[in-house]
Amino acid sequence: MVPYSGSPRRILISSNLPHTFGFTILNDDLYWTDWQRRVIEKSNTNGLNRVIIKDPFPDPMGLRAVKRGQWAGISNGCSHSNGGCKELCFWVQSRVKCGCRTGFELDSDNVTCIDPPAFLIYSGATDLHRVSLIKSESEELLPLGKVKAPVAVETMGGGWIYWSDSKVKALLRGKVDGSGVGGGVEKVSLCFLYEVGRSLLVLLFYYMLVYRFFLDN
């Protein structure tokens, strides 16, 4: 840490900081994001009492701590009754836009949040995404911090998602909301991962056909 005068400089934390990016200070606390560990952390401005605020947190970048009332006299459409939104309210291009917490999506009224009855989960190069089958424009990155190179994905009861990862050579699992990440089988061969991945894709295709059958009938 360094004051505006440029000196003296003080090292607050020197360990376990592989790729810090965003910083912000509120009162006597310092907050920061870490790209590699995919977390938001905080400590006192003396470097003590270090704790993790959010883990996992996919693709963390800029960060700003805001204290209610610090911008007294400034208001927008979200300032009153949360803009009419049931959960999250965003002031975007001079208008209110409602949003939902992870795992939920806006209902047809664009105000109320619901747990989507049907959705698709697909793997990208380094992450997993969810696309609603009800609202095609509703897509989100799943906050699963240990995803490195997913090959295939499958879902089970209780909100669990299972995927094979070719980079860490493991079968992993987690929930849609980002909790419970880990477990599975580690240090398996790449050929085994692809065989499991192919089986998972066959099962997913089967479930999609069954779902489509019930929709048509």
Q: Domain boundaries in the chain?
A: 1-64, 77-115, 117-216
Across 128-150, average pLDDT: 79
- How is domain 77-115 classified at the CATH fold level? Laminin (2.10.25)
**Distance (Å, whole) CA 117 – CA 125:** 26
Per-residue confidence (pLDDT) for residue 186, from 0 to 100: 47
Q: Please state, for a pLDDT cut of 70, what percent of the chain lies above it.
A: 76
Q: What is the pLDDT of residue 216?
A: 59
Give yes or no for residue 192 having a pLDDT over 50. no
Share of the chain above pLDDT 90, in %: 6
Band of residue 191 on the pLDDT scale cut at 50, 70, 90:
very low
Q: Does pLDDT of 86 surpass 90?
A: yes
Which residues on adjacent β-strands are paired with residue 95? 92
Residue 2 φ then ψ, to 5°: -140, 135
Q: Which two tokens stand for residue 90?
A: 């965003």
Give 119's pLDDT tier (boundaries 50, 70, 90).
confident
Q: What's the pLDDT score for residue 85?
A: 94
User: 117-216 belongs to which CATH class?
Assistant: mainly beta
Average pLDDT over residues 203-213: 54
What is the predicted pLDDT for the residue at 193?
46
Higher pLDDT, 69 or 129: 129
State the chain's maximal CA–CA distance in angstroms: 74
Whether residue 215 has pLDDT greater than 50: yes
Q: Which range has the worst mean pLDDT, 24-28, 132-136, 161-165, 191-195? A: 191-195
Its pTM stands at 0.51
Say if CB 147 and CB 163 are below 8 A apart.
yes
Mean pLDDT of 159-168: 85
What local confidence, expressed as pLDDT, does residue 117 receive?
80
Q: Give the pLDDT score at 71.
A: 58
Q: Could you report the per-residue pLDDT of 88-99, keeping only the tens digit for each?
A: 898 888 899 998
Q: Give the sheet arrangement for strand 182-186, strand by strand.
A: 150-155, 160-165, 170-175, 182-186
